[in-house]
């Protein structure tokens, strides 16, 4: 086999951020912006990575020395994944990995998880290994934790399974919701969020106020359970109300920002059923649920208060892979 191509989608969290780190469920949808990976053998005992959009050209690391030194941020997830993959199977035959992304890593769509999943899937095909999705997930999750240290793995699940899924940490449960589309407007707040820092901030908050934070997580769990039912029923009014409730709890967790709150308020005052931040908070995207007929009006209003409308399709396909 000469070359393999794989692509995996980014994600947006609909409900359950932060609580999912503590074994509560969340609901995540895959977006139709993807990370593309090409993998081939290079005849050497080294990993060679090119990610031209990130300014990386022919980054080289001996297979035996993977992750042994400081790595540039742009290649760290790939290097950790390749190391985990090679360790699992005892390979030393080097490979070439080339990446291209449909979206910038600044938006919080999960480019690191998408590149990890696409690379793992491409390598499995290149080395002719039959992985189940759960096996691929486990490998990718270990690699992500090697680099990030924290996280629930929900973004990897979205990249692998695609669609809109109900998820519990470690892929203990991955359940696809039966829906075709979601009437959601996505707006970038203009600020890049630092997920590991926010996760650690919440952990510290929880250490100091365990009762309060556990209570918030329990309430978020109820919203996720209810949200799952209402999304499948397409009861958008109820889904919108749940989004606002979830947003209030994220505010209590201390991860909301003035900018995100302004966008949420604007969306609701312009007619959205509901809105909330999506992801770790501190920035990244806000999502608003609204009638198709209100979409353009809501989008314009959000742009007028500094939001950047992201034209993304939701409920997108999970990882795909082919030989070329």
Q: Which residues are catalytic?
A: 155
Q: Is 13 in the site for ligand MEV (CB under 6 A)?
A: yes
Give the interface segment with ligand MEV, choosing from 13-21, 80-88, 89-97, 246-254 (CB under 6 A): 13-21
Q: Is 282 in the site for ligand MEV (CB under 6 A)?
A: no
* Residue 223 CA neighbour count, 13 Å, CB half: 27
Binding ligand MEV (rule: CB under 6 A), the pick from 111, 189, 195, 315 is: 195
Q: Is 18 in the site for ligand MEV (CB under 6 A)?
A: yes
Binding ligand MEV (rule: CB under 6 A), the pick from 8, 12, 14, 21 is: 21
CB of 284 to ligand MEV, least distance (A): 8
Q: Is 152 in the site for ligand MEV (CB under 6 A)?
A: yes
Which of 85, 217 has the CB closer to ligand MEV?
217
Q: Is 160 in the site for ligand MEV (CB under 6 A)?
A: no
Q: Is 151 in the site for ligand MEV (CB under 6 A)?
A: yes
Binding ligand MEV (rule: CB under 6 A), the pick from 4, 5, 7, 17 is: 17
Q: Is 280 in the site for ligand MEV (CB under 6 A)?
A: yes
Applying CB under 6 A, which residues contact ligand MEV?
13, 17-18, 20-21, 151-152, 154, 195, 199, 279-280
């Amino acid at each position: 086999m000469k070359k393999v191509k794989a692509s995996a989608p980014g994600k947006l969290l609909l409900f359950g951020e932060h609580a999912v780190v503590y074994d509560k469920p969340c609901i995540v949808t895959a977006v139709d912006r993807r990370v593309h990976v090409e993998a081939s053998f290079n005849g050497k005992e080294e990993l060679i990575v090119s990610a031209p959009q990130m300014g990386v050209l022919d980054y080289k690391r001996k297979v035996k020395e993977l992750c042994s030194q400081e790595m540039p941020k742009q290649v760290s997830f790939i290097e950790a994944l390749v190391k985990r993959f090679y360790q699992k199977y005892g390979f030393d035959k080097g490979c070439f990995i080339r990446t291209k992304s449909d979206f910038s890593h600044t938006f919080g769509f999960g480019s690191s998880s998408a590149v990890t999943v696409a690379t793992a899937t491409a390598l499995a095909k290149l080395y002719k290994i039959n992985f189940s999705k759960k096996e691929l997930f486990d490998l990718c999750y270990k690699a992500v934790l090697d680099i990030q240290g924290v996280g629930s793995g929900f973004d990897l699940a979205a990249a692998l399974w695609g669609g809109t899924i109900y998820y519990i940490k470690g892929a203990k449960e991955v359940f696809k919701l039966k829906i075709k589309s979601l009437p959601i407007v996505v707006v970038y707040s203009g600020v890049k969020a630092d997920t590991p820092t926010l996760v650690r901030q919440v952990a510290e908050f929880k250490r100091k106020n365990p009762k309060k934070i556990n209570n918030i997580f329990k309430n978020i769990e109820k919203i996720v359970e209810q949200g799952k039912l209402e999304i499948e029923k397409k009861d958008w009014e109820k889904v919108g109300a749940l989004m606002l409730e979830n947003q209030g709890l994220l505010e209590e967790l201390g991860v909301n920002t003035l900018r995100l709150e302004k966008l949420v308020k604007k969306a609701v005052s312009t007619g959205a059923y509901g809105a909330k931040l999506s992801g770790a908070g501190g920035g990244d995207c806000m999502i608003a649920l609204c009638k198709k007929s209100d979409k353009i009006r809501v989008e314009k209003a959000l742009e007028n208060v500094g939001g950047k409308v992201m034209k993304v399709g939701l409920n997108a396909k999970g990882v795909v892979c082919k030989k070329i």
